[in-house]
Amino acid sequence: MVDYNGRMGSVYVAGRGIPPAEVRRWSAAFATYLPERRPLDVLDLGSGTGRLTPGLAEEFQGQVYGVEPSDRMRAAAEPHPRVTYLKGSAEEIPLPEASVDAVLMFLTFHHWTDPLQGLREVRRVLRPGGVGLLRTQFSDVMPDLFWYRYFPSAREVDATMYVSVAEAQALAVEAGLTPGEDLVRITAEEPRTLRETYERLKLRALSTFEYLPEEEVEPGFERFAADAELDPDRAMPVYDATMLVLTRPS
């Protein structure tokens, strides 16, 4: 289990922050799968430092709840007049039944201690017809990220943290949610240079690095730094993000 109240919490904003223009693209992409009416009340489940939470309030014009177990991460979250940050977890969401129109689960699913219970809680807090947006990686459709070349076991380590698409769909059905038959793919990330990618990753704000052997990490970053010095402006590939849309039956 990654401790976001420790070192990871201290580097997260610098290493994993999302620029405002990218936040707007994510919010607009999420809106594609939600009702057009406004306002919509939204839960950002595992909101962390509130990377996307205020943007959800701007996009959907309703009350937004950021639920996050880490005190340090919540303390760093950006305030917004329609955002309420709450201590809680996927397995125990501190909201009443049928209290939100949508639940965003943005790169948090692999941290849940009990995914089935978490999805049951998502169903509980969704209003009938409400939508859950499960933005996560899936073990059977992992992207081949550029920086994996510097850390030989990183892709395998990442894959072990995630379930397959079919496993996620089965969990959703067992929890009383209706999953989409197909994955959604979203392109929202800003292009970055090799230097920018290195500067972010060297902070080790990705949970992957918590599971890699140190004898692999240090030499990997040395090679990464050398390449970033030689070709700092090299454009990095932008990868599609995978998402599964879940619906609470009406």
Do residues 138 and 122 touch, judged by C-beta distance below 8 A? no
Q: The whole model's pTM is what?
A: 0.95
Q: Any idea what the CATH number is for the domain that residue 119 is in?
A: 3.40.50.150
Do residues 26 and 55 touch, judged by C-beta distance below 8 A? yes
> How far are the Cα atoms of 56, 116, 168 from residue 100, in angstroms, in the given order?
13, 19, 22
Summarised one tens digit per residue, pLDDT across range 18-64 is 999 999 999 999 999 999 999 999 999 999 999 999 999 999 999 99
Residue type, 183: L
Residue of 160, 50, 175, 171 lying closest to 104 (CA atoms): 50
What's the rounded Cα separation, in Å, for the pair 132 and 147?
Answer: 30
Summarised one tens digit per residue, pLDDT across range 142-189 is 999 999 999 999 999 999 999 999 999 999 999 999 999 999 999 999
Number of domains in the chain: 1
In a domain, residue 93? The reply is: yes
In a domain, residue 9? The reply is: no
In a domain, residue 130? The reply is: yes
Residue range(s) defining the domain that contains residue 97:
16-143+154-191+239-247
Residue that has been written with the tokens 């990183």 in this structure: 154
Secondary structure class of 170 (helix, strand, coil): helix
Do residues 128 and 120 touch, judged by C-beta distance below 8 A? no
